[in-house]
Amino acid sequence: MNEIAIRVEHLSKRYRIGQYVGSGAQYKTLRESLTDVVSAPLRRLKYISKFEFRNSKSGGSDSQSAIRNSQSDGFLWALKDISFEVKQGEVLGIIGRNGAGKSTLLKVLTRITEPTEGQAELHGRVGSLLEVGTGFHPELTGRENIYLSGAILGMMRKEIDRKFDEIVDFSGIEKFIDTPVKRYSSGMTVRLGFAVAAHLEPEILLIDEVLAVGDYEFQKKCLGKMKDVSEGGKTVLLVSHNIPSITNLCSRAILLVQGKVDADGPARDVVDRYIAAARSTGGECVWSDACTAPGNENVRLHAVRVVSDGEVTADVDIQKDIVIEIDYWNFEAGARLDVGIHLKDRMNTYVLASANRPSASIGIDPWSGRSHPVGLFRTRCRIPDNFLNEGQYSVDVAVNNHTLVWQAGQENAVSFVVHDSGAMRKEYQGRWVGVVRPRLAWATEYLGSGNISTGPELAGADKVQS
């Protein structure tokens, strides 16, 4: 059997921007949807799927030139000359910023949309979960949608019967299995959708942001199931902004930037590249134009910076205080405003959250919740020395009104690196474990030897020391 499960060669997808669809487009009735399922091409049921698309109006070299020069008015290249292979049993992560082309790539692979150029091969039965409730009809019950989705995936009824109880148990919605899906919450829908896709034994599983919905326990079940699927020799292609899940589940990752492959390699290396590119390159970010700065008509950011030892810097000595400065314009006289931050590590894990509100601050900020006149303000947050461990960090900032309604903010506004060249680094010859590394208060006292039954020399230790 071919060891390559997915092969993509020079794949490109172009969309027309602002194209008018017309008023004739509308949702299909249940009868029409079921008719479409019955009349779908038989290739949906084949175990080996191969599909190829080419633009017959342009030759190869001319086509590639057109893609490279894709600045034509009215068009957007969502994907540009994508090529990669995925081996059977491999778990591949696809990461990138919003609009990078990740979801478009999966939609092309699942034949939801046709590419403008290139070809793709999928060797094996494909299961996909691209959006919450993909493939479900809202008028059908959960039970009926399980059988409908199974049929679309090419499963025989007896196969679905065998897996039915396991699917329902995994989804955790057994009480509502005979309720129409249109009455499900988004969390219930994604539970059922993932359960169907993961339990109908596809040879290739394509997943797009399934972990963005659902509670913590369900996310743990999803991660466990995807790990089981991959260890069972199945091929998984996972699109996610959940960086820990990419590094924990995927041995390899691809980074998409503006529709192109920017990096392809070990998952941790690609994630590091993605995080470094997504964050600010320095310790300061300034928005000089109050009309276009992040925020709204009431409040806009002016600057965010990292200050240590009196200087703006992106490289901080672990033995120095760190001050996060947030400058913002207030345009509404009398507004009562508060400022907060989220601090994240290199894996996008939240290290801490803080704000200048009395409930979250050591001291009292005289401007917290107080009526602000129109003008420019600067709020500072101090992180003490020897608190953060060595590593890279980024800062999200937000300005809210006193009822915690967002007014202005910016994710990953600035980033900085904490380093240690002091005694601890030398003594331990490496990085101390943990996210925070505070110097805590320690003290030792001698309690005597009265409770220890040992030799006579120790029994007299109290007298010697006294």
Q: Which two tokens stand for residue 241?
A: 């902004």
pTM, rounded to two decimals = 0.55
| pLDDT for the residue numbered 343 | 94
Q: How far apart are CA 216 and CA 28, in angstroms?
A: 35
CA 399 to each of CA 280, 366, 369, 409, 415: distance values in angstroms, whole numbers, following the listed order: 19, 16, 11, 6, 19
Q: Is-contact 192 137, C-beta < 8 A?
A: no
* DSSP SS3 for 142: helix
Q: What are phi and psi of 215, to 5 degrees?
A: -80, 180
Q: How far apart are CA 76 and CA 15, in angstroms?
A: 5
- Counting Cα atoms < 13 Å in the Cβ hemisphere of 393 gives 31
CA dihedral 329, 331, 335, 338 (to 10 degrees): -20
Contacts of 404 (CB under 8 A, 6+ apart): 338
| pLDDT for the residue numbered 458 | 46
| pLDDT for the residue numbered 27 | 47
Strands 406-419 and 350-355: unpaired
| Amino acid found at 371 | S
* Dihedral over Cα of 309, 310, 315, 321: its sign: positive
Q: Is 155 exposed, middle or buried (0-12, 13-18, 19+ CB in 10 A)?
A: buried
CA 159 to each of CA 41, 48, 117, 153, 430: distance values in angstroms, whole numbers, following the listed order: 21, 19, 37, 11, 54
Question: Is residue 32 within a helix (H) or strand (E), and if so which, with residue range?
Answer: helix 30-38
Q: Which two tokens stand for residue 271?
A: 């994630």
* DSSP SS3 for 434: coil
Query: Strands (DSSP E) along 102-184, which ranges?
Result: 117-122, 126-129
Domains and CATH numbers, the chain: 4-124+203-278 (3.40.50.300), 284-419 (2.70.50.60)
Query: Strands (DSSP E) along 18-108, which ranges?
Result: 49-52, 75-87, 91-95
CA 328 to each of CA 120, 319, 324, 400, 409: distance values in angstroms, whole numbers, following the listed order: 49, 29, 13, 11, 10
The secondary structure of residue 41, as a DSSP letter, is -
Q: Is-contact 124 48, C-beta < 8 A?
A: yes
Identify the bridge partners of residue 208 per DSSP, sorted by sequence position.
Answer: 239
Q: Is-contact 324 394, C-beta < 8 A?
A: no
What is the mean pLDDT of each successive set of 10 residues along the chain, which is 466 residues long?
83 74 47 52 42 37 40 73 92 85 89 89 80 73 88 80 90 91 84 78 78 62 74 84 77 92 92 67 84 92 94 89 95 94 86 92 90 94 92 91 89 87 64 79 77 53 45
**pLDDT tens digits, 427-461:** 665 567 788 888 888 877 778 877 665 555 544 44
Q: How far apart are CA 16 and CA 452, in angstroms?
A: 84
| Amino acid found at 313 | T
DSSP string, 380-433: EEEEPTT-BPSEEEEEEEEEEETT--EEEEEEEEEEEEEE--SHHHHHHTSPPS
